[in-house]
Amino acid sequence: MIVEELEARIKTLENQIRTLQDIEDIKKLQRAFGFYLEHWMAEDIIDLFADGPDTTLSIAAGEFRGKEKIRLFCYRGNKSNEVRKYEKPEFLHQVMQLSGIVDVDPDGKTAKGRWYGFGANALPAEGGIAPGWMNGVYENEYVKENGKWKLKKVRWCMTFNAPYKEGWVDPSRRVEKRPEPPYRSSTGFSPDGPPEETLYPSGFICPFHYNNPVTGK
């Protein structure tokens, strides 16, 4: 009986370790996707996607089904397999992959993940370069092919894509003065102490909860 219990415990621990490793591999995959987007490294982006016609990329430009269709999108219709960056060095498409939550299915072959995407872009345009901000949420699906995790479905739900100077709120509704927090109103509710003086240019450094990992200081 003891041997059976130990074997079951070992099996459980093995599954937990496998799941943890899968999560780390998927996080690395998603972060790599973000770094390749920054300079539109087309072939590197394409390599992250799973094979098959049911692989999808759903973004602001539309939904692209199948890895070959995704390839055409990444190369803007050019079927060349030549590894290259975006044709203009001024191009920037930085979307940081943040706050990832990854859930691996019990079979260890499929998974889902949710990420914030936030960043800046600079798009070469007629007469110059158009800078801007973007923000949204990824809801993605992953599949393990030949022992490696790949992107199966990338769904980008963009919250805003705004010009650099204008922001993302309709100018006709935008006001400069921010509302007072509820605890400063006349409701009778108040904080237990004054706020910390942390805002620039105070020079404030938020205290670290850990020592320097190298020096121990």
pLDDT digits 0-9 by tens, 120-167 = 999 888 899 999 999 999 999 999 999 999 999 999 999 999 999 888
Least confidently predicted of 95-109, 130-144, 183-197: 183-197
Q: Which of 106, 12, 48, 210 is nearest to 57 (CA)?
A: 48
Average pLDDT for residues 178-194, to the nearest whole number?
66
pLDDT of residue 195: 72
pLDDT tens digits for range 76-87: 765 554 434 455
- Residue 187's pLDDT band (boundaries 50, 70, 90)? low
% residues pLDDT > 90 (the chain): 51
Q: Which long-range contacts (CB under 8 A, 24 or more apart) does 157-165 make?
A: 158/59, 158/60, 158/134, 159/135, 160/133, 160/134, 160/135, 160/136, 161/60, 161/132, 161/133, 161/134, 162/132, 162/133, 162/134, 163/130, 163/131, 163/132, 164/120, 164/131, 164/132, 164/133
Whole-number Å distance between alpha carbons of 138 and 99: 11
- In this structure, whether the domain defined by 10-171 belongs to CATH 3.40.50.10490 is answered with no
pLDDT exceeds cutoff 90 at 185? no
- Choose between 155 and 210: higher pLDDT: 155
pLDDT of residue 84: 44
% residues pLDDT > 70 (the chain): 88
- Residue 181's pLDDT band (boundaries 50, 70, 90)? low
Average pLDDT for residues 36-42, to the nearest whole number?
89
Average pLDDT of every residue of the chain: 86
- Residue 89's pLDDT band (boundaries 50, 70, 90)? confident
